[in-house]
Each structure stands twice: as C-alpha cells, then as structure tokens.
Amino acid sequence: MGNHGVESAGAPSGGVQSVDRAVSVLEILAQHGEAGVSEVASAIDVHKSTAFRLLGALEAHGMVEQESERGKYRLGFGVVRLAGAVTGRIAVTRHGRGVCERLVDDVGETMNIAVLESCHAINLYQVRSTSAIAAQNWVGRQTPLHCTSSGKVLLAHLDRMDRDALLAEAGLPRMTPRTVTSRKKLEAELAEAREQGYAVTREEYEEGLNALSAPVRSGDGEVVAALSASGPAFRLTDERLRELAPVLVAGADELSRRLGYPG
C-alpha cells in the first residue's frame, strides 16, 4: 500500500473510480444476463474482493440481486425503478409531439412540455411559433417554479409537505418587478390554478413574456408534466389568455389520455 492516495496523471479519484466501476458492472450484467464475482472482477480488471464490495453495494440499493443457488449476480428491480422514471418522461415527450404541433397551429404561440426536476421545472420538448416574434429555445433549461406557468402547475399539484420542502430550498427570488415573492399570495394562486385547471404568469419570469400552462396526468392520475403556451405580453393579453385557456386545457387532457389517464 506504499502508493496509497497517489494517483497517476489523469486517473480518476477513488470516488469517481468506484462509480465508473459500478456502472461497468451494471453494463456487464446487462450484456451477459448474469455473472459471478470472479467473472466481474476479470471483466473490470480488479481484485475479486473489490468486485465483491461493488456487487454488495449495488445489491444493497437493489441494483443487482444474487441467485442463491449458483451465486451468480443479475440486474435487480432497482434498475427497473430508475428506468421507469425515464421512460415515463420519454412517453410524455413522444405523445406530446403531435399535441404540441397541432396546438402551435391552433394557438399561434410556442408550446412547451415541462416536468419537475429537483426544485426546478425543466423543459423536455418545444415547438416554436412561426410568428415573427417567437419565444427562445427552452429545451433542457431549468426554470424557477414560483414564477413560471409550468412551475406553478407542477407546484399546485404537489402535496403541501413536498411543496413546502421545495420552496424552502429554492426560495422565492424576485426575477422581475411582477414576480410573486409572497408565500401567501403564491399559495392563493396555486389554489386558483387547481380550481380553474390552468396557471398563468404575466411577466413574472421575464419582462415582456406571458404564459399559461395546464397539467398533464399519467394513467394513475398523477400530474407528471405541464403543457404551456408562451409568447410576448403585447400579444398574450389577459383577454387572449382567457381565450386560449380552454384550448390549452383540452390539449393537456388529450395528452393525458394518450398516457392512459381515463379522465
């Protein structure tokens, strides 16, 4: 152990190396279906005791499981749980494309699909308006929950404890002079969003930008995404927002049905 703690140039640190090796173990099991400790050790070029520790850590998290009779390891259902979170989002995006494309034609504004990611709303898919003044590209961007229409929809349908935790972590920073920074006022707006079936923001995240959003539900009724329309405030006036609300809600309901929601 004379070189303990000493790494060659460019070599990963111990923590990163362990993660790299753990991922390699999962890939090996995915490729071969099952493998013993010796096979895993040989494949990733580590001592058998190291492979045993890696497999033990993965097993503790449900990522792998051991067949008691032969001592072989295979992927566990923890992998399925993680994959389910991703495939659900893939389904939202896949089914949402047609809905967004149609709504861009009907509404004339840029459409986005966003989901909750930590304490942000992250945009998964966008169809831009063909109008001369169109919204920027939001795909992959994390946006605040309290001052975006998508964020408000996602917040509105969380239980109070989860919402409290998210807002305690993220805070209510002022983005524009119109940003709601009062928790009491925000809660009133979220209650209104639940009651009317959509949320609106008026220049709360960016000056000159208005938006409205409606909830998208999965087969079990859980709100898994928000469908939004956004555009310049001079075009998305209060009157226009009221006109578009039922169109947007109908689009979100259509996407929900495509995801298996019976309502």
Print burial letters for 34-73: b (CB count within 10 Å at least 16), e (below 16). Answer: bbbbebbbebbebeeebbeebbeebeeeebbbbeeeeebb
Print burial letters for 146-173: b (CB count within 10 Å at least 16), e (below 16). Answer: bbbbbbbbbbbbbeeeebeebbeebebe
Per residue in 102-158, pLDDT tens? 888 888 888 999 998 888 898 888 888 776 454 567 677 788 999 999 999 999 999
Quote the mean pLDDT of the chain: 85
What 3-state class would DSSP assign to 246? Answer: helix
Exposed, middle or buried: residue 208 (CB in 10 Å: 0-12, 13-18, 19+)?
exposed
How many alpha carbons fall within 13 Å on the CB side of residue 161? Answer: 0
State the CATH class of domain 14-75: mainly alpha
Annotated domain spans of the chain: 14-75, 85-258
Q: Is the pLDDT of residue 2 over 80?
A: no
Contacts for 83 with CB less than 8 Å, ≥ 6 apart: none
Contacts for 160 with CB less than 8 Å, ≥ 6 apart: none
Q: Do domains 14-75 and 85-258 have the same CATH topology?
A: no
Per residue in 238-253, pLDDT tens? 999 999 999 999 999 9
pLDDT of residue 70: 64
Run of H or E residues at 86 = helix 77-107
pLDDT of residue 10: 43
CATH superfamily of 85-258: GAF domain (3.30.450.40)
Beta-carbon count within 10 A of 201 CB: 27
Per residue in 72-102, pLDDT tens? 998 888 887 776 666 566 778 777 788 888 8
Beta bridge partners of 114: 123, 226
